[in-house]
Amino acid sequence: MPGATPRVSIDSDRLWNSLMRMAEIGPSPNGGSRRLAMTQEDAAGRRLLLDWVEALGCTWQRDKAGNLFIHRPGRENRLPAVSLGSHLDTQPLGGRFDGVLGVLAGLEVFRTLADNDITTRRPLSLIVWTNEEGSRFAPAMGGSGVWTGRLDEDTFFTATDSQGVSLREAIQACDEAGDLPLGEQDLDAYFELHIEQGPVLEEQGDPLGIVTGVQGIRWYDLSLRGQSAHAGPTPMSYRHDPLMAATALIQALKEEVLADPEGAARLTVGDFQVVEPSRNVIPGEIHLQLDLRHTDDERLAALDATVERLARTAAEAEGVTLSLERRWHSPVTPFDDTLIASLVEAAEALGLEAPTMMSGAGHDAVHLSHVTPTVMIFVPSRDGISHNEAEYTEPEHCALGTQLLCDAVLARAERE
């Protein structure tokens, strides 16, 4: 009958083959992927995707941030597009599924609709966001951030990598800059399929989960500066050792996080560098990068104040100076209740009771949720491992998540 959502099945083998083919671009030494944002490997992955979608007759555009929008027309193209997507850039030694699953699942949705000669009422948009990982250029989720206006253009384009190359220069070098204005598209909704990147689904024996929101994240850069001196002649009581201050700070922060009454706090020291290290020299300067997370904004704000207090205490105790920069803050983000309910309904139609859960990691969906109804689907990560060459998700879980994505996107695109 008119308006009824057709039932279609994705091709699980085709999906898996696409994932493995993409993994051939920028392979890392131990079976993972290395496609850092706006490198030639990243550009090659995008080109492969475009070859696939062009074979389906889809058109595409890029904006000046390099965000890629792949269009599949609907019966009523005046309506805002139902969108889905993720990212293709990886960590330096990343996996084959983080981000890429969401993009290639979207490709499989497009292919499945083409196989069944289905044109949806609303148009569809498959989006590949620039620099989601933030490993080459900080902050993370940059392309979606600047597109939604939640990250200013200057911060995005002037971010530099370890070699001093700006993101603007890298986008131009890869010929990935487009003419589409930032934020021009009006989206009806945004769906993102992603691996969980944690152990919960696997531990519970659940093949997929429905994400209700994303925990808050704060990033910090800290520098502690003391006095370099000879390791032998300088008594301990005379030293101004920034490494001792740094280790004391890390231990104090760990104790604070472990004492969180909800057990929801997370602390990661992602980088720890001794400037000009030498075995028999007291370090003169230490650089730290911290990642702090919580599912409650008030508790995260309290931990933010704790970071500064403990850092100053540790610096004063060792007689060193402290520089603390708050690099990035992403508040706790709830997703759209209507879309969550639609995923629950779609999962039940597949005979599944998918648990609802919060995401421990940031995703482009965080930024999108501020401009359009947004939701995410998770599938398990083996042993909870991600951002690692050993990252793996079973083919059947990739397929099931993609089927749920297809069903939910199709229902959204066909609704009156």
Do 352 and 385 form a contact (C-beta atoms < 8 A)? no
Q: CA geometry: angle at 54 spanning 116 and 137, to 5°?
A: 120
Say whether 87 counts as a known binding-site residue: yes
Say whether 294 counts as a known binding-site residue: no
- Which are the contacts of 310, defined by CB distance < 8 A and separation ≥ 6? 249, 252, 253, 256
By the 10 Å C-beta count (0-12 exposed, 13-18 middle, 19+ buried), 304 is classed as: middle
Do 38 and 131 form a contact (C-beta atoms < 8 A)? yes
Q: Measuring CA to CA, which residue among 327, 402, 414 is closest to residue 9?
A: 402
For residue 82, list its beta bridge partners: 124, 189
Letter for the amino acid at 94?
G
Distances (CA, A) of 15 to 100, 242, 292, 362, 401: 11, 51, 35, 25, 11
Handedness of CA 75, 374, 144, 106 (dihedral sign): negative
* Alpha-carbon gap, residue 127 to 66, rounded angstroms: 11
Say whether 363 counts as a known binding-site residue: no
Q: Find tokens 């609802």 and name the residue.
A: 356
Show binding-site residues for Zn(2+): 87, 98, 133, 194, 387
Show binding-site residues: 87, 98, 133, 194, 387
